[in-house]
Amino acid sequence: MYKILKKEVMNQAVLLFEVEAPYVSARCEAGQFVIVRVDEDGERIPLTIADYDREKNSVTIVVQTVGYSTKLMEKLEEGDGFLDFVGPLGQPAPLQSSWKKVVGVAGGLGAAPLYPQLKKLAKMGCEVDVIIGGRSAEFVLWADKFAEFCKNVYIMTDDGSLGGKGFVTAKLEELIASGAGYDHAIAIGPLIMMKNVVLVTKKYDLHTAVSLNPIMIDGTGMCGGCRVTVGGETKFACVDGPDFDGFEVDWDEAMKRQTFFKEEEHECMMKLES
């Protein structure tokens, strides 16, 4: 069992777990993920690593409780454990020391996997800004943590309850158009958000990395559930990514793939509630 060292309720839909996982913490890098299983009957859930501490032998994951297995996770407490915590999997984010000024764009839960990437870039000497979006103030994650190494932290909420009112793309375009001088962007969040970020950055030829972790299922490339077209070639988000060049992703195909198992997920939720 992989012991839960810390559990934090971040908002009504999001939980944080710090898990004792010596092998994973010793080898993981920003952008990689783990496969988590609650118990013998549980699904294998791919979750991007949000942070790690090699001295404490711990890995932090952030979970949105939207499906059957994540609802099971919600019942776990500090001192309990996960049956499986496998990783690190996937490719590390292709962060470049040549980048001088990077803007990160996070939508909702995307703030968690974006965090280690921007943190590492800052340690590499890159100047980093971040735009964090959420439906309302309670869904804006880790603004205080980003502030520890980001030069500027911009917040956008749908209802205007924190920061500016509107989408992250509006703030992003405002910054680029005003001459912020970014030479790279990283966007992580819902597929539609990442697609819209790319529509903005393409206009300014600002190359943008995106994370296709939302479409991952098995995590090993065996199920084919995260198959996506990137640059005209077939890729698997879990083994070739999860980070890709956003300019090259077939977004319509990726979003269609994300809906494939909605009926099965509904059946599992009915079982949990019965």
* pLDDT reported for residue 124: 94
Q: Which of 176, 211, 186 is nearest to 96 (CA)?
A: 186
Peptide bond into 113 cis (omega under 30): no
pLDDT of the chain, 274 residues: tens digit per residue? 899 999 999 888 889 999 999 999 999 999 999 998 888 877 888 889 999 999 999 999 998 887 777 888 888 899 999 999 988 998 999 999 899 999 999 998 899 999 999 999 999 999 999 999 998 998 899 999 999 999 999 999 999 899 899 999 999 999 999 999 999 999 999 999 999 999 999 999 999 999 987 766 666 666 666 788 888 988 888 788 789 999 998 888 888 866 644 554 444 444 445 5
* pLDDT reported for residue 126: 95
C-alpha to C-alpha distance for 216 and 59, rounded to whole angstroms: 20
* pLDDT reported for residue 269: 43
Concatenate the DSSP letters of all residues of 248-266 into one string. GB-HHHHHHHTTTTHHHHH
* pLDDT reported for residue 53: 94
* pLDDT reported for residue 262: 52
Q: Which of 3, 235, 11, 197 is nearest to 104 (CA)?
A: 197
* pLDDT reported for residue 152: 96
Q: Which domains does the chain have, with CATH numbers?
A: 2-89 (2.40.30.10), 101-257 (3.40.50.80)
* pLDDT reported for residue 220: 64
pTM metric for this prediction: 0.86
Check the CA dihedral 121-122-128-132 and report its sign: positive
* pLDDT reported for residue 267: 47
* pLDDT reported for residue 221: 63
Q: CB–CB of 175/160 below 8 Å? A: no
The beta strands (E) that lie in the chain are given as: 2-11, 14-20, 33-37, 45-53, 58-64, 81-82, 84-89, 101-107, 127-134, 152-157, 164-165, 184-188, 208-211, 227-230, 233-236, 243-245
C-alpha to C-alpha distance for 25 and 20, rounded to whole angstroms: 8
